[in-house]
Amino acid sequence: MSASFTSPLAEALAPGLLERFDRYARIGTQARRDRTQSPSSPGQLELGRLLVDELLELGLADAAIDDDGYVFATLPGDGPVIGLIAHVDTSPDAPGDGVEPIVHRGYDGGVLRLPRGGTVLDPEEMPELRSAAGHDVVTSSGDTLLGADDKAGVAEIMSAVAWLVAHPELPRPTLRIGFTVDEEVGLGASRFDVERFGARCAYTIDGSSLGELQDETFSGWGVTVTIHGHDVHPGFATGKLVNATRLAGQVLVALPPELTPEATSGREGFVHVYEVEGNAARTEIRAIARDFDDDLLAAHLATLRRVAEEVAAAEPRARVEVVARPQYPNMRRFLAGDPEIVEKAAAALRAEGIEPVRTAIRGGTDGSMLSEMGLPTPNLFTGGHEYHSVREWASLQEMAAAAATIVRLAQEWAA
């Protein structure tokens, strides 16, 4: 066995896995924020249909894509019904069409200069890349993202299922495969039919570094602060104009700088203003609030509301509206009562020779929503890194370790 693989199983899975990953990555499946239908882009349907064809070819006879673009399929076995989930869409935050993966075989640990866009991957700035020296590193050609988020997860599930089909002697429970759409615009679980999926629990394969096992995400709220001023022609504005844009500026300045994403880390939450739009008559401040702790999250929301109301109070002719809505919950509360779900994943990782890395995700996953909807769903690593950027890369050895972990997870759940 080559030293950089976690097991002979991972090494055996690697060639087919790379072939699948390359095939899926080349299909443009970027999600669109201005979604008018599900899925938000036709490429997601194209990849979904390809996956159905490949699942049917593997003998998963019920493989099908529904009207919203979700692909479900079943691999029968003995034991409970366990779900495996990945998303087919890629992030709208970097160019995602025309992806041409490049495999840097036996990466030497140095600077990687990609052929297009002047993109450079420097291990000095990316410690995880440095630790992938000796691996087969996959990048884009420099002017697009790679789409390992989450086509690595898709390819790992497909490879593990293909392996189990080819090795009927290996124990497995009944596996339910679910490929979702539009995860990157926060809608991956929105039309997921948990009842029809019919699993006891599931795992998203949508993390990053080797060994990650995540059963905790942020709880997230979205907040819109709307400031209504009073617009008057500036030539006649004396004593009359109430400028909503300037009041919005006061709100931004009054928000605590220590409560921002750039000033927090680890288990600290934040308030993040991501967009401001408006004019003298009306200006909207769009923000998100995040925390692992619901009481602290409520405090962040209260801070934003108080700041907005104080600014409004100093200018009685202005009017301020604050609308907050929940986006996704911390999955921990739904998993805490059923520790077996995380324990089996930890056992599968150890069986693959990997020490589980228990981290809390400073974001949400499909699993945050699915857990709340009644399908407890922690998250496992994929071996992809630097997501949502043209510097995105993946280690074939880590991807193979993820696929092998899925095969071992099946063993853990088998009756």
Q: Give 361's contacts (C-beta < 8 A, 6+ positions apart).
A: 207, 214, 216, 217, 218, 379
Q: Give 395's contacts (C-beta < 8 A, 6+ positions apart).
A: 132, 135, 136, 137, 138, 210, 383, 385
To the nearest whole angstrom, how small is the minimum distance from the Cβ of residue 87 to Zn ion?
A: 6
To the nearest whole angstrom, how small is the minimum distance from the Cβ of residue 369 to Zn ion?
A: 13
Q: Total number of residues binding Zn ion (CB under 5 A)?
A: 3
Whether 380 contacts 127, CB under 8 Å: no
Look-up of token digits 């929301």 = 301
To the nearest whole angstrom, how small is the minimum distance from the Cβ of residue 149 to Zn ion?
A: 4
- Please pick, from the candidates 136, 150, 182, 392, the single residue that binds Zn ion as defined by CB under 5 A: 150
Among positions 206-265, residues that touch Zn ion (CB under 5 A) are 206
Quote the CA–CA distance of 272 and 270 in Å, as a whole number: 6
Q: Give 347's contacts (C-beta < 8 A, 6+ positions apart).
A: 408, 412
To the nearest whole angstrom, how small is the minimum distance from the Cβ of residue 72 to Zn ion?
A: 19
The contact pattern for Zn ion, residues 169-208, with x = CB under 5 A and - = no contact, is -------------------------------------x--
Residues forming beta bridges with residue 282, ordered by sequence position: 228
* Of residues 206 and 412, the one with the C-beta less far from Zn ion: 206
Q: Which residues of 376-399 are buried (b: 16+ CB within 10 A; e: fewer)?
A: bbbbbbbbbbbbeebbbbbbbbbb
Quote the CA–CA distance of 319 and 20 in Å, as a whole number: 55
CA separation, residue 392 to residues 137, 376, 380 (Å) = 11, 29, 18
The contact pattern for Zn ion, residues 33-72, with x = CB under 5 A and - = no contact, is ----------------------------------------
- Please pick, from the candidates 149, 156, 315, 366, the single residue that binds Zn ion as defined by CB under 5 A: 149
To the nearest whole angstrom, how small is the minimum distance from the Cβ of residue 292 to Zn ion?
A: 19
Quote the CA–CA distance of 336 and 356 in Å, as a whole number: 17
To the nearest whole angstrom, how small is the minimum distance from the Cβ of residue 381 to Zn ion?
A: 12
Q: In residues, how long is the chain?
A: 415
DSSP readout, 154-177?
HHHHHHHHHHHHH-TTS---EEEE
Quote the CA–CA distance of 256 and 262 in Å, as a whole number: 12
Quote the CA–CA distance of 69 and 44 in Å, as a whole number: 7
To the nearest whole angstrom, how small is the minimum distance from the Cβ of residue 297 to Zn ion?
A: 22
Nearest Cα to Cα of residue 157 among 338, 5, 7, 24: 24
**366 touching Zn ion, by CB under 5 A:** no
Catalytic residues: 89, 183
Q: Site residues (CB under 5 A) for Zn ion?
A: 149-150, 206
